[in-house]
Amino acid sequence: MRDITTVVIGAGHCGLAMSRCLTDRSIDHVVLERGEPANSWRTQRWDSFRLLTPNWLTRLPGYSYRGDDPDGFMAAPEVAQLIDEYAALTAAPVLTQTTVTSVRPSDGGYVVQTDQDSWQSRSVVLASGACNIPVVPALQDAVPAEVLMVTPAGYRGPDQLPEGGVLVVGASASGIQIADEVHRSGRAVTLAVGEHVRMPRTYRGLDILWWMEAAGVLDERYDEVADIVRARSLPSMQLVGSSDRATIDLNALTAMGVRLVGRLAGVRDGLAQFSGSLLNVCALADLKLGRLLDTLDAWAAGAGVDGAGPPVRFAATKVSPTPPLSVDLRSGEIRTIIWATGFRPDLSWLDVPVLDRKGRVIHDGGVTRWPGLYLIGMPFLRRRKSSLIDGAAPDARDLASHLAGYLHSAAPVAGNGGHRRPQAGGDQRLGAMVYGR
C-alpha cells in the first residue's frame, strides 16, 4: 500500500489541469491513467473529427495556444499531442497503463486499487471523463440483424459502412457532423432529430464562441441557473469545426439532401417508428437560438461592440409538414444505423455511495457529499463551459482550493487526540453543503 495525499483518476485535459493546480498548492498527488494521456482522443474519435472550439479557446492552467492558426480547429491527433506536451510541460506525476479497479472509503480517506498497486489517499479526484461508454437505447435489440449498428466511438469514416442508406439517430454535434460526412460519401442519409441546440458557427462576422465568451455566457455558474439538472442534460451545440467556418445545421443538411425525421421512438417488427414532434422540436430550438442572440446583441450594445455588422436572425428550420413516421428496416433502404445518442461515464469501479439511480455522481459543483471526493470534467460542472477544454482551468482552480481547505481542516489537531471535524475550505457555500453546516 502506497501513501499519497491525493489521487487523480484520469490523465485527460481535466486530470492534468487538476494536477497542475494541486502542484501549485504543493499538494502531493499521483495521476492514474489506464492507457496513455488523452486516451479517449486516441481511441474514440473518427478520422475527420475536429474540435468544435477554435484554437484560441484552447487554454489550460499555465498554458494557452501558441500556434499560427488561432482560428483553426484541431484534429483529434493534434489534441492528443497537445495533452501529451502539457503533461510534459507541467511534469505531471502520471502513471500510465494503470487501470483503477476500485475506490472505496477507508479510515482517513480512500483506498484506490489498481491492476498494478494500491494507494491510501486522503482525497480522490474523479477525472476519468464524461464520455466513456456510448449510450444506445434498448430498442436496438429490435433492429433486424442485417442492419449494421455503429456508435461514434467505433465510427471512423464512411468507407467502413456498407453501401446503402444510413440512419443517423441524434442531431447534436456528433450526429450532424457524421450525417454531413456520410451524405457527402454518396449515401442516402436519414437523420432522426430529437431535442437539439441550434448554433451558427459565426455571428456578425465573429465565431459564435467569441460572442458567448465575451458576453459572459460561457462563464455562467452552475449556481446562477434556475434548473441545473436540466442545464447539465442539454445536448451539445450543433457546431462543426472546419477551415471555412461553415454552419452545418438542419437547414444546411436538408439543402444537401439529408432527410429529416422525428425522434426515433421505437422499433417494432422491423419498422422504425419516429415521433411526430419534429416541427415542435425544431421550433423550440429556433426560439432558444433567438433568445441567445438577443442576449449577445444586448451585451454588444452595452459594451459598444459592433462586430462586423448589425444584428441578424436566421431563417426558421425548414421541416416537411408530413415527415415520414416510419421506415421499414427490412426493406434494405437502411443498411446502417449510427447511434449518435450520447455517452455516459464509466464509474463501475467507484465503491463510494455517491451515485444516483442513473449512475451519475451526486455533486455540488464537483464537490461530492463524501468528504475528500471530487469530480471534474462533467457538463456544466461549475460553469457553462465546463465541458470545453477551456473550462477545465477555472473548475480545477476552484476544486483545488476547496480540496486544500478540506485537507487543512481535516488535519490532526495537537492535543485533540484525533482529527478536527471537517470544515469548509475554498468555496464556503459548497463546504456548508458537504459538511452539513
- Strands 202-203 and 189-193, how do they pair? unpaired
Query: How much is the pLDDT for 22?
Result: 98
d(CA 33, CA 78): 19
CB 4 within 8 A of CB 29: yes
E strand or H helix at 134: strand 133-134
What is the phi/psi pair of residue 9, to 5°?
-105, 110
Q: Would you identify the CATH topology of the domain 2-132+345-435?
A: FAD/NAD(P)-binding domain (3.50.50)
Alpha helices for 331-426 (secondary structure H): 392-409
d(CA 166, CA 168): 6
What is the phi/psi pair of residue 147, to 5°?
-95, 120
Three cell numbers at 63? 498554458
What is the phi/psi pair of residue 436, to 5°?
75, 25
What are the distances in angstroms from CA 382 to CA 198, 221, 358? 23, 6, 21
Report pTM. 0.91
CB 359 within 8 A of CB 347: yes
Alpha helices for 272-380 (secondary structure H): 278-303
Residues 6+ away with beta carbon under 8 Å from 105: 111, 351, 352, 370
Q: Which residues lie across from 114 on neighbouring strands?
A: 100
pLDDT tens over the chain, length 437 residues: 899 999 999 999 999 999 999 999 999 999 999 999 988 888 888 889 999 999 999 999 999 998 999 999 999 999 999 999 999 999 999 999 999 999 999 988 999 999 999 999 999 999 998 888 999 999 999 999 999 999 999 999 999 999 999 999 999 999 999 999 999 999 999 999 999 999 999 999 999 999 999 999 999 999 999 999 999 999 999 999 999 999 999 999 999 999 999 999 999 999 999 999 999 999 999 999 999 999 999 999 999 998 788 999 999 999 998 999 999 999 999 999 999 999 999 999 999 999 999 889 999 999 999 999 999 999 999 999 999 999 999 999 999 999 999 999 976 433 333 333 333 333 433 433 332 22
d(CA 324, CA 64): 48
Of 303, 311, 423, 431, the closest CA to residue 366 belongs to 431
Q: Which residues lie across from 273 on neighbouring strands?
A: 266, 326
What is the phi/psi pair of residue 409, to 5°?
-70, -25
CB 387 within 8 A of CB 51: no
N residues, the chain: 437
The residue ranges of every structural domain in the chain are 2-132+345-435, 135-339
**Identity of the residue numbered 180:** D
CB 100 within 8 A of CB 121: no
What is the phi/psi pair of residue 300, to 5°?
-60, -40
